[in-house]
Amino acid sequence: MTQFDTKTYFTDEIALRHDWTLEEVMTLLEQPLMDLLWQAQLVHRSVNPGYKVQLASLLSVKTGGCQEDCAYCPQSMHNNSDVNDQPDLNVQSVLAHAKAAKEAGADRFCMGWAWREIRDGKFFDAMLAMVRGVRELGLEACVTAGMLSDEQASRLAEAGLTAYNHNLDTSPEYYEKIITTRTYQERLETLQRIRSAGITICCGGIIGMGESLVDRASLLRVLAMHDPHPESVPINSLVAVEGTQLENLSSVDPLDMVRMVATARILMPLSRVRLSAGREQLGREAQILCLQAGADSIFYGETLLTTSNPSIIADREMLSKAGVQVNWELTD
Ligand code: SAM
Ligand code: DTB
Ligand code: SF4
């Protein structure tokens, strides 16, 4: 049974709320860790009894040179990281990566473009061909490429796109400390376009960018106020890349990731909560706590978009020690 099926079985029993107050979210987030874990576990175990974990693979199709000034991002032209503009990958090579990811056990393939927005033309046509090709391989396809128009969203939906990733990153209140070249409102409008086109939403954020606990609660509340909830909620911790504005920030306390994941699971019981960037800094035990508290997906493969991720061997060992269920039959 896929997790989607499991979820439909439990929909009647799990209360889905979209009216959480900031105080309620703060209470969840800052309660004693043991109580938070217990509460998150009750939800997680009932919606995902086998502790199934989806393996998602990432590939950067268009790397670097982005016009936006996201303080954390090595791909912004406003930052001075080592990520040089590289030629865009072509359809054939992207599909070869997708096939390899499938053979390594992934069942979702996410493709990234360092763009402020999608423009029509040969690059968008290539994106559509990549989406069709990934779907033909039997994988879920996710794209992240900045803002888009209603028409572009419809064309992506027609090509079979499963999900579009568009993160809110942080709270509305903290946003302008991190990004000044676009507004929170523009982000929300893009999410609405994706939803209207019938594509599922992948939307989450980053912790460790100097934000307060209230900012974290506020981000989670904005996500949970969406009706329906985003189907996929990536929780990243900052990878402080040299040359970016946030290069000197120290890494987050691994238990803060556990708290974010657990609270996301309680607020959005049926969403996939993805343990995303920053896993190398988390350590094995904190990752396992996240899987117990509510994470049901990881990015799998040695590179995220431009930064490194745990090795496939390390992840296989971690998942097997945790005793979670993974779709290994594709590989063994
Ligand atoms: N340009 C598109 C956009 O921003 O929507 C897509 C690509 S962007 C790199 C995808 C997401 O990666 C960002 O929204 C951000 O949440 C995450 N990200 C980027 N750099 C990161 C970093 N250094 N640490 C953690 N997460 C990061
Ligand atoms: C998400 O929230 N995290 C992934 C995926 N969605 C696209 C990207 C993480 C990128 C980390 C920095 C890098 O590798 O460039
Ligand atoms: Fe561009 Fe996305 Fe990086 Fe922001 S996060 S600079 S929009 S690639």
Rounded to the nearest whole angstrom, what is the distance from the C-alpha of residue 138 to the centroid of ligand 3? 28
pLDDT at 34: 97
286-316 per-position pLDDT tens digit: 999 999 999 999 999 999 999 999 999 999 9
Does 331 have pLDDT greater than 60? no
Q: Which atom of ligand 1 is nearest to the CA of 167?
A: 14
Could you tell me where the DSSP H helices lie in 138-253?
A: 150-158, 175-178, 184-196, 213-225
Q: How far apart are CA 163 and CA 56, in angstroms?
A: 12
Q: Which domains does the chain have, with CATH numbers?
A: 54-322 (3.20.20.70)
Residue with tokens 């049926």: 270
213-259 per-position pLDDT tens digit: 999 999 999 999 999 999 999 999 999 999 999 999 999 999 999 99
Does 65 have pLDDT greater than 60? yes
pLDDT at 86: 80
73 is catalytic: yes
- The answer to whether the CB of 53 is under 6 A from ligand 1 is no
174-188 per-position pLDDT tens digit: 999 999 999 999 999
**153-157 average pLDDT score:** 98
Q: Name the residue at shortest CA distance from atom 2 of ligand 3.
A: 114
Query: When comparing pLDDT for 36 and 81, which is higher?
Result: 36
Does 11 have pLDDT greater than 60? no
203 is catalytic: no
Average pLDDT along the chain: 93
**35-53 average pLDDT score:** 95
DSSP state letter for 227: S
The model's pTM is 0.95
Helix (H) or strand (E) holding 179: none
Q: Are 321 and 288 in contact (CB under 8 A)?
A: yes
Q: Which atom of ligand 2 is nearest to the CA of 204?
A: 2
Helix (H) or strand (E) holding 107: none
- The answer to whether the CB of 155 is under 6 A from ligand 1 is no
Tokens of 237: 């911790």
70 is catalytic: yes
Helix (H) or strand (E) holding 282: helix 279-282
What is the pLDDT confidence band of residue 84, given thresholds at 50, 70 and 90?
confident
**6-31 average pLDDT score:** 80
What is the pLDDT confidence band of residue 322, given thresholds at 50, 70 and 90?
very high
- Any residues with CB less than 8 A from the CB of 132 and at least 6 apart, and which? 159, 160
Ligand minimally distant from the alpha carbon of residue 307: 2
101-151 per-position pLDDT tens digit: 999 999 999 999 999 999 999 999 999 999 999 999 999 999 999 999 999
